[in-house]
Amino acid sequence: MTGTSVAFAGQAAYAELLHEVLGEEGIQVSQLIIGGRIIAGDPEKDPDVLAGILWDLHTRRDRFRHQVSED
């Protein structure tokens, strides 16, 4: 059984390729990986915290991927 791992690997590789190619044109492509579920009030998985991470990925443009670990 592979579950979503094969699909995720393909999506991640494609997104990273876009990040590299489109970055030269000033277009940001990033990936936020959230292990498990989004949990209100959680210090790492609260929707407002995740929105802040997305905003940082967008404004700082200093990395392709940010991962929030599963509990």
Residue 1 has pLDDT above 70, yes or no: no
Listed as own residue / partner, the contacts of 58-63 with beta carbons closer than 8 Å and 24 or more positions apart are 58/28, 58/30, 61/28, 63/30
* Greatest C-alpha distance within the chain: 39
d(CA 54, CA 59): 9
Condensed to tens digits (0 to 9), the pLDDT of residues 6-51 reads 888 999 999 999 999 999 999 999 999 999 999 999 999 999 999 9
The pTM (predicted TM-score) of the whole model is: 0.82
